[in-house]
Amino acid sequence: MMKRILKKRSAALRRATRTRARIRGSAERPRLTVFRSSAHMYAQVINDEIGRTLVASSDAVLDVKGKKPLEVAALVGADIAKKAKDAGVTTVVFDRGPYLYHGRVKAVADAAREGGLAF
């Protein structure tokens, strides 16, 4: 059982590393990264040059009671776009991490685009 979990985690880490090898967040275009757990959705805008998170959002700080997972992801995307625009960020590089660009990850990206972020 434990070996299977470690194998899945190492595979996810390899996928994320492969994705991030082509993506680099800068001051002009920081990296919008998503983390998807089974229960929650998180998004951060990161400047990799200085190694600092500029803004962050998650469904833990939003009112998501009674909403479906795709709706929650869209709320997180809209919230991160609003916070990023308030911080002066208009264009980002989207980092999907080890996840496929599908479902909740795609919902975050689409909502961020509708919120005014360009990528």
pLDDT of 61: 92
Q: How many CB atoms lie within 10 A of CB 27?
A: 11
Q: Which CATH class is domain 2-114?
A: alpha beta
pLDDT single digits (tens) 81-91: 999 999 999 99
Residue 52: its H or E element: strand 52-58
pLDDT of 27: 81
Sign of CA dihedral 113, 71, 87, 21: negative
- 46 neighbors 54 (Cβ within 8 angstroms): yes
Look over the chain and give the mean of its residue pLDDT values, rounded to a whole number: 93
Based on its alpha-carbon atoms, the radius of gyration of the chain, rounded to whole angstroms, reads 14
pLDDT single digits (tens) 15-57: 988 888 888 888 889 999 999 999 999 999 999 999 999 999 9
Q: How many CB atoms lie within 10 A of CB 87?
A: 11
Q: 105 pLDDT exceeds 90?
A: yes
Tell me, what DSSP letter sits at residue 118? B
Q: 113 pLDDT exceeds 90?
A: yes
